[in-house]
């Protein structure tokens, strides 16, 4: 058992040197498809949604924690909503919690209820069968809340696009604050996108 605990202390916390996170190579090509007709009722059209195409720079988890504390001054809570994904994006979200990225160490936590969440990470090409549940989850999230499209499917509809069974881009059904492209986006990239997004938020939109 001691051997195990030793290993955890070696691998578990903030052990990665800056520069060890990998950048997604294909991110730049995965911007949202702006050809989608957007709902005139939306506050933002898809083309206005910020898309972080390249990570600003590599970041170590302890540095991420410092930055997060500076921005929000407390933990950031996330509720993941799968709106028809292939599970690839979910696997990478899971990876965020492994000892390498140590998400909770950076003060970011996945929570079980949208009522406890600041931010919704939505994946998949918005299957029509999931729309009702998705909109309810968004409604249940207290303001100020952020809706983030994770993965190419949620950003633009991806390969599945719009069909009898899917809406395509998440922005077709709800206003979106941020698109994180990639199929699936890699964990380090997700983390960097979230932090950069929070950093750029005007003070009025930060969680109280």
As a whole number of angstroms, the distance between CA 104 and CA 97 comes to: 7
By CB under 6 A, is residue 85 in contact with ligand SF4?
yes
What's the min distance (Å) between Cβ of 180 and ligand SF4?
Answer: 10
- 3-class SS string, 100-156: CCCHHHHCEEECCCHHHCCEEEEECCCEHHHHHHHHHHHHHCCCCCEEEEEHHHHHH
Question: 79 has which bridge partners?
Answer: 120
By CB under 6 A, is residue 184 in contact with ligand SF4?
yes
Residue from 151, 157, 168, 207 binding ligand SF4 (CB under 6 A): 151
- Specify the pairing of strand 108-110 against strand 119-123: unpaired
What's the min distance (Å) between Cβ of 202 and another protein?
Answer: 29
Residue from 49, 51, 55, 89 binding ligand SF4 (CB under 6 A): 89
By CB under 6 A, is residue 158 in contact with ligand SF4?
yes
- 3-class SS string, 55-83: CCCCCCHHHHHHHHHHHHCCCEEEEEEEC
Structure tokens, 31:
């911007």
Window 150-179: residues binding another protein (CB under 8 A)? 158-161, 163-166
Binding mask 53-92 for another protein (x = CB under 8 A): ---------------------------xxxxxxxxxxxxx
Structure tokens, 196:
């950069």
How far, in whole angstroms, is CA 12 from its chain's centroid? Answer: 23
As a whole number of angstroms, the distance between CA 29 and CA 19 comes to: 23
What's the min distance (Å) between Cβ of 148 and another protein?
Answer: 14
Structure tokens, 78:
């996330």
| Nearer residue to ligand SF4 within complex by CB, 9 or 98 | 98
What's the min distance (Å) between Cβ of 110 and another protein?
Answer: 6
Partner whose footprint covers residue 110, from another protein, ligand SF4, none (CB < 5 to 8 Å by kind): another protein
What CA–CA distances, in Å, run from 199 to 74, 130, 136, 140?
A: 14, 31, 28, 25
What does the binding site for another protein look like in residue numbers (CB under 8 A)?
A: 1, 3-5, 7-8, 11-12, 22, 25, 80-95, 97-100, 110, 112-113, 124-125, 127-133, 137, 158-161, 163-166, 183-184, 186
What does the binding site for ligand SF4 look like in residue numbers (CB under 6 A)?
A: 85-86, 88-89, 123-124, 151-153, 158, 183-184
């Amino acid at each position: 058992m001691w051997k195990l605990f030793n290993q955890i202390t070696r691998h578990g916390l903030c052990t990665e040197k800056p520069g060890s996170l990998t950048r997604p190579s294909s991110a730049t090509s995965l911007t949202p498809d702006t050809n989608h007709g957007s709902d005139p009722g939306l506050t933002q059209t898809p083309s206005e949604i910020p898309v972080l195409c390249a990570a600003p720079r590599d970041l170590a988890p302890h540095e991420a924690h410092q930055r997060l504390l500076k921005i929000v001054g407390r933990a950031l809570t996330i509720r993941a909503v799968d709106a028809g994904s292939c599970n690839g994006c979910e696997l990478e979200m899971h990876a965020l919690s492994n000892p390498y990225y140590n998400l909770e160490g950076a003060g970011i936590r996945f929570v079980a209820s949208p009522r406890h969440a600041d931010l919704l990470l939505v994946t998949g090409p918005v299957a029509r069968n999931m729309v009702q549940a998705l909109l309810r989850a968004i409604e249940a999230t207290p303001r100020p809340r952020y809706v983030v499209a994770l993965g190419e499917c949620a950003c633009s509809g991806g390969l599945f696009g719009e069909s009898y069974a899917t809406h395509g881009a998440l922005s077709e059904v709800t206003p979106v604050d941020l698109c994180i492209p990639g199929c699936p986006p890699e964990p380090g990239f997700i983390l960097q996108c979230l932090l950069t997004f929070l950093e750029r938020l005007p003070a009025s939109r930060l969680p109280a």
